[in-house]
Amino acid sequence: MGRKEKPVVDKGNRFLVDLALWLRAEKARTGKSYRELAELADRHPTTLQRAAFGNRVPRLPVVMAFAKACDAPPEEARRLWRDARYEETVRGCPHRRHLCLACIGDAEELRLALREVHHRAGMPSPRVMERHAGPHGILPRSTAYRISTGTTVPRDLRQFRAYLRACEVPEYKLGEWELVWWRVSRADASNRLLQASSRRFKDLVAILADLPEWVPDPRTPSDSPELPEAHAELLNALLSAPLREPQSRETLRRRHATRMRHVR
């Protein structure tokens, strides 16, 4: 009979205490020693003993091997480990504990939320995320790293789903996350539309102000000459064209000069 284990000491991570107590309970249920479990788990006995000590969060493969040797449910082992790992990562950062999907309204908030999801999943490595995301190439490890660190967001809905899948988000929650994706996408499209419109208006004012044939005078609008036909055509073309990437002022000036030559 082995020596009696020291009691688990709570050092501020109650989920780690739950994990350690669960591992000890499963070991006691089997009636095996750490040496016997180590042979079944293909691990060193000291490794399993440290996992159940409760001093620090063990690695997930160790916990899963421990549970398999004890014939314990792997889902429960993974859940307990994930909770302990998350509590360890957010210690001292209480503002990261809140995750409200209804509050996510733009790309910046989405980046923070996706980083939080990664932490709640136990911070899996980019290699593991790439393997669990789905088909090859849908979530490269470099992209997984950038998203998990809050540097960027997924490029499309398919990659967004793959990232959530890699972070073990339950299937029944994917619908709520997709609503977040579409809400953020609409907001981002609106912002880009407004920015493009603002750039176009500034370019238009600069071009018309540089033209010698017609210089608008904001102080006396009633005394300003009537807008020439060529200028009116340019104005209508600029305002009615689809909003794409803004063209350079020089390109717009050349196009207007060509129009004026045809008029003359």
- Is 133 strand, coil or helix? coil
Which residues have C-beta within 8 Å of that of residue 126, sequence separation ≥ 6?
A: 141, 142, 144, 145, 148
Which residues have C-beta within 8 Å of that of residue 70, sequence separation ≥ 6?
A: 23, 26, 27, 29, 30, 32, 37
Which residues of the chain carry a pLDDT beneath 50?
A: 1, 95, 211-227, 243-246
Q: What is the dihedral of CA 25, 31, 35, 37, to 10 degrees?
A: -70
Q: Give 42's DSSP letter.
A: T
What is the distance between the alpha carbons of residues 72 and 29, in angstroms, rounded to a whole number?
10
- Is 220 strand, coil or helix? coil
103-130 pLDDT, tens per residue? 888 888 898 889 889 988 888 899 999 9
What is the distance between the alpha carbons of residues 197 and 40, in angstroms, rounded to a whole number?
67
What pLDDT, on a 0 to 100 scale, did the predictor assign at position 224? Answer: 45
44-89 pLDDT, tens per residue? 999 999 999 988 889 888 999 999 999 999 999 988 988 888 787 7
Contact 27, 35 (CB under 8 A): no
As a CATH number, domain 14-90 is 1.10.260.40
What pLDDT, on a 0 to 100 scale, did the predictor assign at position 6? Answer: 84
Total-model pTM: 0.54
What does the mean pLDDT of the chain come to? Answer: 78
Please give the radius of gyration of the chain, using alpha carbons only, rounded to the nearest integer.
31
Q: What is the domain partition of the chain in residue ranges?
A: 14-90, 101-179, 191-263
Would you state the structure tokens that stand for residue 182, as one six-digit string? 């579409």
What pLDDT, on a 0 to 100 scale, did the predictor assign at position 203? Answer: 61
CA angle 76, 79, 84 (to 5 degrees): 125
What pLDDT, on a 0 to 100 scale, did the predictor assign at position 52? Answer: 92
